[in-house]
Chains A and B, each alone.
Chain A
Amino acid sequence: MRPRLEARIGVSGAMVYVTPVLAVVLTMACGSVLFAALGHNPAAVLYAFFVQPISSAYGLAELTIKATPLVLCAIGLSFGFRANIWNIGAEGQLTLGAIAGGGLALWAGDDASVWFLPAMIIASLLGGAAWAAIPAYLKTRFNANEILTSLMLTYVAILLLSYLVHGPWKDPDGYSFPQSRMFADSVLLPLLTMGTRLHLGAPIALLLALAAWWVMARMFVGFQIKVVGLTPAAAGLAGFSVRRLTWITLLTGGALSGLAGLFEVAGPIGQLLPSISPGYGFTAIIVAFLGRLHPLGILLAGLLIALSYLGGETVQIELGLPLAVSGVFQGMLLFFLLASDVLVRYRIRWGRSVIVQEAG
């Protein structure tokens, strides 16, 4: 008797919620073995990893700040992934958004009017979208694969930012160090609570997630995206333009990633630096799939992944665990989350199958 998987008819409503919990529990169990083997008290590590970072209002605010760019990028990417457009260059689009919006902030100068902030937001949306327009154009016009073009453009974007902060946008009073002037306070994102760094970007990201949900569920373009992703042939028959959807999904993804970039530089950072993102654009790809490409799922996945980064910092500070151990633990968490997803659409059966059902 061997266990095997049998497709469910549709998805299991219960498993949608059970599997993430199951995955976290399994991760904790395996992690405990790892931590014990390295000579640490598993309970203390797990507490420091999952609970301590969010045991204060400040911690919760930090969690939200960390999750905001991940959620924004992931939502943008999820449109494309649903339509089988493989944009993996969100990091570059984020960078261009930061350059466009941040450049405007620098141009506005020290006594900038508050009205520059909305302009910066628009600039960042346009900047990110423009960077994503290159893969879109090359794909629709020359059939060039977007995996390669979007990835390569990420490196180009980061080097462009490096050039700007080492060169023309360098702070003239900054002893030639590679960073721009600080943005004027008036163009920074307003803070929401005293004593934390929680900024206006977080609720905007939340609103955008809800909007994305509405688009995918209620609007015709959402329906088209889903059809193209599931059965490209049917889309052709139904007369949807794959070309148009390529443009729409890539531009949306680019714009939201660009916005994420602006929220970093006009939020917690407050200036342009050579490195503005610790790889949010790449991590967001995982967030998008962990959230099952669903805007609300992405919100939760973004918070969980953000927590895993905060937890990684906390176990270093509180228990002296090296970052490498957090990386291994984080990898395990992702493995279990991704693997347990199987139970949503399949059930485990023992023995030979009698009836085989269509995959849901």
Chain B
Amino acid sequence: MKTSFIKRGAIWLGAAAVSAAMTTAAWAEPLKVGFVYVGPVGDHGWTYRHDQGRKAIDKAFGDKVKTTLVESVKEGADSERVIRQLAASGHKLIFTTSFGFMNPTLKVAKSFPNVRFEHATGYKQAKNVSTYAARFYQGRHIAGLIAGKMTKSNVIGYIGSFPIPEVVRGINATTLALQKVNPKATVKVVWVNTWYDPGKEGAAAKALIDQGADVIMQHTDSPAAIQAAQERGVWAVGQASDMTHFGPKSHLTAIIDVWDNYYVARTKAVMDGSWKSDDTWDGLKQGMLQMAPYNAAIPADVLAMAKKAQANIIAGTVHPFAGPIKDQMGKEKVPAGKNLDDGSLLSMNWYVQGVQGKLPK
């Protein structure tokens, strides 16, 4: 499955490069593309993956583009200045890659109508502001299916960063898939209140393992949980990057963020004048998330199930949030035969049945 993605990506990139070459004449100067990151490029997580996307632009367009990055920009007063400075210094396309940059991005966009802005994971658009995000929950669905089959203790440990809809969605998608194949299994959540603190993430993984979890999932950035799982001999699912090499025995798969195609496409759109404001929420189908190579220890039937689910999600015949879905109180949220709509997914702030503990409000 993965190879076909890579192949498709390569063809895609090739096509992009050709068409970029064709429009060279229109661009005497290289197109300047700016990136605003919330963390350091060296976090090997969220920011690292966005920077891989930036490098994909460099690779696809060569000297037709000039990419710029500003790392570790704090959400607060600083971000507006950085975004504005990028816009004022001739950047025609600016990616702001954290939710907290939403209002500053819109503010700056108002004063630079000719600059295009792309805001990750937000919900406010404007004429020159697009939003984009990945349907990571699709990957969580597959991970949940595998976890349901692999667990012996029927307890899945989940390390949460902050209780925001994105993370809650992942927990719910995991739980729904998990219970589909293993109704007895439940999900135990521990919040670490940080995106990134290897020591604390590792300790959270160990705490979950000590409470009986034998599959560890994470919505934090470092591979510490994978290492902990490897050390304790339980399974784990990675996040953001392929983390196999941090725990070859424990690493079942990982949900990889792949912004490359989107970034290249949006850059090309600015180059050929076809850019328009949009709200993109891509998934496995478009390759915005990919599954890392599956662990060889996964039994053939489980692997086949995972791959089938992946194909079905891509084909659109399976929706991870297909009804009937009940919340923790047993109240029906989605009737049978219906899927949860995108608006409800975007603002999700309730747990489905099968998640242990209450969602902090």
Contacts and interface: CB of A to CB of B under 8 A. Distances in A.
A and B touch in the complex (CB under 8 A): yes
Interface of A: 62, 65-66, 159, 162-163, 166-168, 175-179, 182, 197, 264, 267-271, 273-278, 309-310, 313-314, 316-318, 320, 322-323
B69 A275 contact: no
Contacts of B164: 166, 176-178
B160 to A, nearest CB: 11
B74 A316 contact: no
B113 to A, nearest CB: 15
Contacts, number: 92
Interface in B178-237: 193
A268 B77 contact: yes
27 contacts: A163-B360, A166-B162, A175-B165, A175-B346, A175-B347, A176-B168, A177-B99, A177-B164, A177-B165, A182-B103, A197-B80, A264-B76, A264-B77, A270-B103, A273-B76, A274-B75, A274-B162, A275-B74, A277-B74, A277-B76, A313-B73, A316-B69, A317-B34, A318-B89, A320-B68, A320-B69, A323-B70
Interface in B56-92: 68-78, 80-82, 85-86, 89
Contact of B71 (A178, A267, A276, A322): A322
Interface residues of B, number: 36
B349 interface: yes
Given A176-B165, A176-B349, A273 B100 contact: yes
Given A274-B100, A320-B68, A269 B85 contact: no
Interface string B91-119: 00000000110010000000000000000
B357 interface: no
Of A162, A167, A182, A269, the most chain B CB neighbours within 10 A belong to A269
B41 interface: yes
A338 to B, nearest CB: 24
Given A166-B360, A268-B76, A316-B70, 6 more contacts: A65-B81, A162-B162, A163-B360, A178-B164, A197-B81, A323-B70
Of A269, A309, A313, A317, the most chain B CB neighbours within 10 A belong to A317
A269 B168 CA distance: 27
Nearest to A318: B89
Nearest to A314: B85
Interface of B: 34, 40-41, 68-78, 80-82, 85-86, 89, 99-100, 103, 123, 162-165, 168, 193, 346-349, 360-361
B193 A162 contact: yes
A309 to B, nearest CB: 8
A182 B107 CA distance: 13
Contact of A322 (B41, B77, B99, B123): B41
Given A167-B360, A175-B165, A313 B348 contact: no
A101 to B, nearest CB: 15
Contacts of A65: 77, 81
Contact of B162 (A175, A178, A318): A178
A40 to B, nearest CB: 15
A31 B361 CA distance: 49
Contact of A62 (B81, B86, B165, B346): B81
Given A179-B100, A273-B100, A317 B85 contact: yes
Contacts of B360: 163, 166-167
Nearest to B168: A176
A278 B76 contact: yes
A316 to B, nearest CB: 5
A197 B85 CA distance: 13
A224 B74 CA distance: 40
Contacts of B103: 182, 270-271
B100 A313 contact: no
B42 to A, nearest CB: 8
B249 to A, nearest CB: 34
Nearest to B32: A317
A206 to B, nearest CB: 18
B68 A316 contact: yes
A12 B131 CA distance: 59
A279 to B, nearest CB: 8
Counting from the closest, the 7 A-B pairs by CB-CB distance are A175-B347, A268-B77, A278-B74, A176-B349, A176-B165, A316-B70, A176-B347
Contacts of B89: 317-318
A284 to B, nearest CB: 15
Contacts of A62: 81
Given A175-B123, A267-B77, A273-B100, A166 B70 contact: no
A41 B69 CA distance: 19
Given A176-B347, A317-B68, A269 B76 contact: yes
A275 B76 contact: yes
